[in-house]
Amino acid sequence: MYVAVKGGEQAIRNAHELLAKRRRGDRDQAELAVGQISQQLALAVARVMTEGSVYDPELAALAIKQSAGDLVEAIFLLRAYRTTLSRFYTSQPVDSAAMLVERRISATFKDLPGGQVLGSTFDYTHRLLDFKLLAEGDSEVAEPAAPAPRQTDDGTMPRVMALLEQEGLMVCESSQGTPPADITVDPPAYPCDRSARLQALVRGDEGFLLALAYSTQRGYGRNHPFAGEIRIGEVEVSILPEELGFEVVIGTLQLSECEMVNGFSRQADGEVRFTRGYGLAFGQQERKAMSMALVDRALQAPQYDEEIKAPAQQEEFVLSHCDNVEAAGFVSHLKLPHYVDFQSELELLRRIRSARADETMSGENDDEQ
Amino acid sequence: MSQLDLVPGFSAPVDAAQGLFRQLLKAMSEPGSLIDTTLEQPLERLDPATFGVCQTLLDQTCGLWLSPAFEGEAIRRNLGFHTGVRLVGERAEAQFALCHPDDLHDLEGFGRGSAEYPESSCTLILQVERLDNASAAAAAGATTLRLQGPGIESSRYLVVAPLPAVLAAYLQQRPDPFPLGLDLILVAGRKLACVPRSSQVEVI
Amino acid sequence: MSSNGVRDGYNFAYLDEQTKRMIRRALLKAVALPGYQVPFGGREMPMPYGWGTGGMQVTAAVIGRQDVLKVIDQGADDTTNAVSIRAFFRDLTGVRTTERTEEATLIQTRHRIPEKPLREDQILIYQVPIPEPLRFIEPSEVETRKMHALEDYGVMHIKLYEDIAHYGRIATAYAYPVLVNGRYVMDPSPIPKFDNPKMHRSPALQLFGAGREKRIYAVPPYTDVRSLDFEDYPFEVQRWEQCCAICGSRDSFLDEVIIDDRGSREFICSDTDYCRSRTEQAVDNPSGARPGTDEEAANAEGARNAC
């Protein structure tokens, strides 16, 4: 007689113990500290914070440590933690024009108020493995003499887009005055509110958005982009508690912001203007911010009466598949048992085949008669 | 208004809200079933069951339309304190409406939902004087309803006193074809019953 | 653990009260609109999407200290994901759990309806991967929402009809679409079509949660649930020529297990509680016929092989 195999709970416990052991690796190596991750793997931390929707470098670093460097898993850990947090206040909009700029480049103007500030970047590095980093001990890193950004008179660095808007060459973006959507509270309904779309894109998987952005450059929804401006730096976050009646600064965030200048289009007022796409991410994440800006512009196709024929232009397709926590969960769920459904398919397939065999048989009998 | 004007809410909010929600879920999925909430704490003119339903379902994300009979500082203040609900002046903006039978001369403006999003309709919470099941002798001013449809094995009877004429007519005629329509939570004292839009209603 | 049996630092049943309220409001709308998918602000849960987060959120919003919870996956209480979800709720609510269908007030399930008929005041909570029954015919949410609004289910009938043209029968063996209360076409979740008839006018309340897709829907007790079919191709459920190798049942859904490398197979009940209770009955009642004896097998309609 058949005896069913049991033992789920113990098997799960064993698997988790093995996971913890593998994560720790060879004990001859010093254990990785969360501080080391947040300081030395800051770009991974930035991605986990952005797609995990929580600005907290320490928790993001913890998630990276716990997930053994699997960033999609780390993003999931941070999201699951975020669910349990109470919302006390909604911050005031951050002002990226008032950013304390660390890096700012424009591909559209050779020089502009505030100037080009390279800051820290992989750009123009030669991608040669640096074997010096193999050596144990602290490598000597000279402190570069960073030229202070040339800020304008009022201490802010004006946006490239604002300069184009002044001349009427760029479509203007203005607040609709309504509170922005929150897709973590109300699931997006299509067609989507712009704020819901941008929120979904910020949380969206960098790899997915990168591929879609790239596809627009290769002609699948081409939108003639110029990197109008990319800026990275610290901005202040403030809240406006009703009981106080005035704004209180509660901290700063490091942000990467990208504004794309895109191909011009005739507007409702008859004028021709450049169009634009917007990208934003926590920390230093230029690739993400640029990809997001390209996709944001592609998704504006209906607004400019552009024919929607490429994947990057299809809002429901892009937004309902860009979240890697959702996507990874659903792909991985195929590992769960599906005995019952598979059994149902087996039964059906056998039935279809036996019906066909019966038909063939009776066909042969007919021939004999 | 002083602290003294605040009435106590649920003493164990997590369990009380869960318990009352389960009763509401039963009432809404078994229309016409009469539920005794066993709640004791009223809020001024709001009966214990009414106040309990408010604490269980409402929060700052909801718009509540308040019947003129329930307007007043004590109710406004306490609902605000215990739920954070936003009071709205326009019926069309309300996800919930807290109604008194005397004020319900018409049902104009309450959202019926749309064919694509029928759940966006308004839920009416109507506080009446008495709710009974069919076995109770129908007193003067009471209306006996016979309900059929999902959640009901054959039919179920509910006695409501008083049921505003406009609502009786609405429930019988269902002028908004399903899936559009208003869902009704009836409350009286510590009791509650529900009549969702899926029920076919006859006035007997 | 704190004194009330809930893991320290977490609210009862994990979700915060505001999230529970949001889900509860959606549930009340769902029961008022049988078969209609209500959008809700689905939260990340500490388990991956696709692993039952929708069912878990519904369970978390309805569960109370008096409840007795049963969790099954593929009909079984001991499959790894059922074990994991049951442990989660034990840890975060302290409620009593059971494997016995008749003892449970809440049953969270993936892919099966228990064999034992459910009763009033039991709630069956389904984990749903893709709540939209029209999704694989029309991928766009905008379009399927219109179809539901207009009660335009022609595409579904065309799909089923094409099956008949290609395979001689309707080639859907699980997640077989149903019409609820004569109005909404609904996905019953990936239960085998064997289970569909159990949904029809069930005395229990049936709730469905799709976490990743952020939809909740419901079938109140005693509600008509009809499997879609055609007059000349009526709906029919799976049957087996074999009976359960453990309890001898001929009436339950059977899983096929391969028992050696020549591909020999046996069939066992997918519902482990049903199978166990039948085996126990046989032990308690040795004078009575052992389930699955030749006599019972001979009586079983359509049985070709005795066990």
Candidates C23, C8, C12; CA nearest to C93 is C12
What is d(CA B133, CA B160) in angstroms, rounded to the nearest whole number?
A: 9
What would the two tokens of residue A103 be? 């890096």
| % of chain C beyond a pLDDT of 90 | 79
Helices (H), chain B: 13-29, 48-57, 73-83, 165-173
Q: Tell me: pLDDT of A289 over 60.
A: yes
Whether the CB-CB separation of A308 and A278 falls below 8 Å is answered with no
At C57 the pLDDT is: 97
Q: What is the pLDDT of residue A178?
A: 86
Q: Could you say which of A4, A336, A344 has the minimum Cβ distance to residue C268?
A: A4
Q: What pLDDT score was predicted for residue A363?
A: 67
pLDDT tens per residue, range B81-101: 999 999 999 999 999 999 999
- With cut-offs at 50, 70 and 90, classify the pLDDT of residue C266: very high
What is the average pLDDT value for chain A, to the nearest integer? 90
> Which chains are within 8 Å of C by 3+ CB pairs?
A, B
Q: Does C31 reach chain A within 8 Å, measured CB to CB?
A: no
pLDDT of residue C299: 41
C307 is catalytic: no
For CA atoms C226, C228, C231, C235, give the dihedral sign: negative
Nearest Cβ partner for C62 among B25, B56, B118 = B25
Query: Distance (Å, rounded) from C-alpha A140 to C-alpha A309?
Result: 53
CA proximity to A286, closest of A298, A294, A276, A297 = A294
Whether residues B56 and C24 touch (CB distance < 8 A) is answered with yes
Angle value at C-alpha B81, between B78 and B84, nearest 5 degrees: 115
Residue B10 banded pLDDT, cuts 50, 70, 90? very high
- Mean pLDDT, range A212-225, rounded to an integer: 94
Residues of chain A in contact with residue C175, where contact means CB-CB under 8 angstroms, are: 341
Please check the confidence at residue C144 and state whether its pLDDT lies above 50.
Answer: yes
Q: Which residues, at least 6 apart from C34, have a Cβ–Cβ distance to it below 8 Å? A: B150, B198, C180, C181, C183, C184, C218, C219, C220, C223
Whose CA is closest to B22, among C58, C189, C94, C87? C58
Q: Do A337 and C80 touch (CB under 8 A)?
A: yes
C37 pLDDT more than 50: yes
Burial of B146 (0-12, 13-18, 19+ CB in 10 A): middle
Smallest CA–CA separation between C213 and chain A, in Å? 9
Residue C287 has a pLDDT of 56
Catalytic residue among C248, C275, C292, C307: C275
Amino acid identity at C93: T
Which pLDDT value is given to residue C295? 44
Of chain C residues 29-58, which have a CB less than 8 A from chain B?
A: 29-34, 36, 38-39
To 5 degrees, how large is the angle CA C141–CA C144–CA C150?
Answer: 140
Position A136 confidence tier, pLDDT thresholds 50, 70, 90: confident
What's residue B35's pLDDT? 97
Q: State how beta strands B130-133 and B156-161 pair.
A: antiparallel
Residue in chain C nearest B15 by alpha carbon: C64
- A362 pLDDT more than 90: no
Question: Given this model, what pLDDT does residue C294 score?
Answer: 44
Paired with B143 in beta bridges are B160
What are chain B's domains? 3-128+177-197 (3.40.50.11310)
Say which DSSP state A192 is in: P
- What are A166's two structure tokens? 């002044």
- Chain segment A54-110, per-residue pLDDT in tens: 999 999 999 999 999 999 999 999 999 998 887 788 899 999 999 999 999 999 998
The Cα of C165 is separated from the nearest Cα of chain A by a number of Å equal to 12
β-pair partners for A273: A265
Q: Please, which pLDDT band fits residue C296 given cuts at 50, 70 and 90?
A: very low
* Helical residues (DSSP H) of chain A, grouped into ranges: 8-24, 34-40, 42-52, 57-66, 71-83, 160-166, 194-203, 206-217, 286-298, 315-319, 324-332, 339-368
pLDDT at residue C21 greater than cutoff 90: yes
Taking 80 as the threshold, does the pLDDT of residue C201 lie above it? Answer: yes
First to last CA, chain B: 47
- The torsion angle over the Cα atoms of residues C255, C258, C264 and C269, rounded to 10 degrees, is -20
In contact, B143 and B160? CB cutoff 8 Å: yes
CB nearest A344 (choices: C53, C110, C193): C193
**Set of chain B residues whose Cβ sits within 8 Å of the Cβ of C18:** 59, 61
**Interface check A93 vs C, CB under 8 A:** no
Residue C303 scores a pLDDT above 90: no
A194 has pLDDT over 50? yes
| Rounded distance between C-alpha atoms, residue B57 and residue C23, angstroms | 10
DSSP symbol at A179: P
User: How far C78 CA sits from the closest chain B CA (Å)?
Assistant: 28
Look at the block and give the residue holding tokens 């809240």: A239
Do B165 and B190 touch, CB atoms closer than 8 A?
no
**What was the pLDDT predicted at A158?**
86
Mutation choice for B interface testing from C31, C105, C180 by most B CBs within 10 A: C31
User: Between the CA of residue C100 and those of A296, C72, C115, what are the distances in Å?
Assistant: 52, 11, 11
Confidence of residue B169 (pLDDT cuts 50, 70, 90): very high
Pairing of strands B86-87, B35-36: unpaired
Cα separation, A256 vs C42, in Å, equals: 28
Task: Evaluate if residue C304 carries a pLDDT over 90.
Answer: no
Per the CB < 8 Å rule, is A329 touching C80?
A: no
Q: In this structure, is the dihedral angle defined by the CA atoms of residues B72, B74, B75 and B80, taken in order, positive or negative?
A: positive
The answer to whether the Cβ–Cβ distance between C194 and A337 falls below 8 Å is: no
Q: Which of C32, C61, C149 sits opposite B183 (nearest CB)?
A: C32
In three-state secondary structure terms, A228 is strand
Of C244, C248, C292, C307, catalytic: C244
What is the average per-residue pLDDT within C65-71? 97
CA distance A233 to chain C (A): 30
C223 close to C158: Cβ distance less than 8 angstroms: no
Residue A308 CB: number of other CB atoms within 10 A? Answer: 14
Residue C206 has pLDDT above 50, yes or no: yes
Question: Predicted confidence band at C305 (pLDDT cuts at 50, 70, 90)?
Answer: very low
The string over A142-179, giving b where at least 16 C-beta atoms fall within 10 Å of a residue's C-beta and e elsewhere, is: eeeeeeebeeeeeebbbbbbebbbeeeebbeeeeeeee
Q: Where do the H-state alpha helices sit in A281-338?
A: 286-298, 315-319, 324-332
User: In whole angstroms, what is the distance from residue B128 CA to residue B104 CA?
Assistant: 11
How far, CA to CA in Å, does B12 sit from each of A247, B23, B84?
Answer: 35, 17, 18
